[in-house]
């Protein structure tokens, strides 16, 4: 049975002196020893049984090992001994990988070292930065030999495709790798510090959001008149009332909604938190104003039999995509003017500047507090009543804006 990435990552040495062999197919196997994990390929050439070393895990992934095996099989089909075809450069690169001194080896070791402290999304982003933009250019270089101009050329390739924000994140990822390499004795200095000032400046833009009461009223009326399906229409109605993150709202589960007590409990693991915070943090409680409760009750006959309140159109077993509401906003003429995520800025601004609610209460509603502090364990009690009153006042205020009444200008 072919190996999987999960099995390879979790495979442990049993203690056998010869190590443990785990076959993948066509002669490829993973050899697990106390010192590490090694890719090997058994083959026969000229009547003799031979074994070819294909690299060390995690520097060489399962997919890479399979590619190397397939390349060797092609040579074997031409009656060429793959071992004899290894060039001096390939042998040197393999030796460096085995020693763990290459950029790729150090990068993968750093990823493995940090994974338990990161959320899955953060780990995926860091790995993508390395696999897409760093490893293809520097992966087989000895990390101690890489100079600042070498890394700068890699970062500038990212800039050339117009991804200035990604270029900055790739540099931060590289910094983690080099600092890990220094600690492990693989490199002598952090070269990322030398090129920071050479990157093109990136001006971070906030998500487009309407914070003017009159224009918000226009948006609410346009949303009420939207001719799309009931799921998107309900999401458009609830989003400005609760102003939670789009990912949380579209993944809302009926099991987490208590309509009788007007409360939505978002599990800690679904929040934007580190892995440690997800494990130890409290659920985020969101009071539901009567307008939100009514909208959800009206939607229940349609999706109440499914896991998600807003199931996907193509696959009802998954939540609807973020593009669904974004496409609706664009269709209503709000592209570049207001985004789904922008409802958070809308609520934060108007609740403070117009309705004058305390900043701490607003921040708790935004889930910007109570995640890792000691008080986070008691988030169920903190500001819950205040937030319930605030959201009801906010929902009532939005109703008035829909009607074009009580439009209070922002303070200068």
pLDDT tens figures, 385-402: 899 999 999 999 999 999
Whether 148 contacts 196, CB under 8 Å: no
Whether 370 contacts 282, CB under 8 Å: yes
Cα 50 from chain centre: 43
Q: Structure tokens of 253? A: 């589960």
Residues 297-320, mean pLDDT to the nearest whole number: 92
SS (H, E, C) 299-355: HHHHHCCCCECCECCCCCCCECCHHHHHHHHHHCCCCCCCCCCHHHHHHHHHHHHCC
Residues 191-202, mean pLDDT to the nearest whole number: 74
pLDDT at 110: 93
Query: CA-to-CA distance for 232 and 324, rounded, in angstroms?
Result: 7
pLDDT at 90: 59
Residue 378 predicted with pLDDT over 50: no
pLDDT at 377: 43
Cα 383 from chain centre: 29
Same fold, 103-198 and 213-402: no
CATH number of 5-86: 3.30.160.390
Per-residue pLDDT band for 118 (boundaries 50, 70, 90) equals: confident
Query: CA-to-CA distance for 193 and 200, rounded, in angstroms?
Result: 15
Domain extent listing, the chain: 5-86, 103-198, 213-402
Query: CA-to-CA distance for 250 and 232, rounded, in angstroms?
Result: 10
> Out of 218-227, 260-269, 274-283, 331-340, which region has the weakest mean confidence (pLDDT)?
274-283
pLDDT at 95: 60
pLDDT at 120: 76
pLDDT at 253: 92
pLDDT at 371: 41
Query: 251-280 pLDDT, tens per residue?
Result: 899 999 999 999 999 887 767 655 555 555
Fold exhibited by the domain 213-402: hpI Integrase; Chain A (1.10.443)
Mean pLDDT taken over the chain: 85
Phi, psi torsion values for 318, nearest 5 degrees: -120, 160
Catalytic residue numbers read 245, 272, 341, 344, 368, 378
CATH number of 103-198: 1.10.150.130
Query: 53-90 pLDDT, tens per residue?
Result: 888 998 899 999 999 999 999 988 888 888 877 655 55
Per-residue pLDDT band for 381 (boundaries 50, 70, 90) equals: very low
């Amino acid at each position: 049975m072919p190996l999987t990435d999960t099995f390879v990552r979790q495979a442990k040495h049993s203690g056998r002196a010869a190590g443990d062999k785990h076959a993948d197919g066509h002669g490829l196997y993973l050899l697990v020893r106390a010192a590490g994990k090694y890719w090997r390929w058994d083959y026969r050439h000229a009547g003799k049984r031979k074994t070819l070393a294909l690299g060390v895990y995690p520097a060489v992934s399962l997919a890479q090992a399979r590619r190397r095996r397939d390349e060797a099989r092609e040579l074997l089909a031409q009656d060429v001994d793959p071992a004899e075809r290894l060039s001096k450069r390939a042998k040197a690169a393999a030796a460096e990988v085995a020693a763990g001194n290459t950029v790729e080896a150090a990068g993968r070791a750093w990823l493995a070292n940090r994974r338990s402290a990161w959320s899955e999304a953060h780990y995926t982003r860091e790995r993508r930065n390395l696999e897409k933009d760093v490893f293809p250019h520097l992966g087989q270089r000895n990390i101690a030999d890489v100079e600042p101009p070498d890394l700068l050329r890699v970062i500038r390739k990212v800039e050339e495709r117009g991804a200035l924000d990604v270029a900055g994140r790739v540099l931060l990822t590289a910094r983690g790798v080099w600092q890990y390499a220094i600690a492990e004795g693989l490199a002598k200095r952090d070269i990322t510090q030398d090129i920071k000032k050479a990157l093109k400046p990136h001006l971070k833009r906030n998500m487009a959001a309407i914070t003017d009461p009159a224009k918000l009223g226009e948006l609410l009326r346009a949303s009420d008149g939207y001719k799309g399906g009931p799921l998107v229409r309900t999401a458009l109605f609830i989003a400005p009332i609760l102003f939670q993150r789009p990912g949380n709202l579209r993944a809302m589960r009926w099991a987490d909604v208590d309509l009788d007590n007007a409360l939505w409990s978002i599990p800690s693991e679904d929040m934007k938190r580190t892995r440690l915070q997800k494990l130890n943090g409290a659920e985020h409680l969101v009071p539901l104003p009567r307008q939100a409760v009514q909208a959800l009750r009206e939607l229940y006959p349609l999706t109440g039999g499914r896991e998600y309140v807003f199931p996907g159109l193509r696959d009802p077993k998954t939540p609807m995509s973020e593009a669904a509401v974004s496409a609706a906003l664009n269709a209503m003429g709000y592209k570049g003017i207001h985004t789904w995520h922008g409802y958070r800025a809308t609520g934060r601004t108007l609740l403070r500047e117009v309705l004058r609610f305390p900043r701490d209460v607003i921040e708790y509603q935004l889930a910007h507090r109570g995640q890792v502090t000691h008080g986070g364990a008691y988030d169920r009690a903190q500001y819950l009543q205040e937030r319930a009153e605030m959201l009801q006042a906010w929902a009532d205020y939005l109703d008035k804006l829909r009607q074009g009444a009580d439009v209070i200008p922002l303070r200068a």
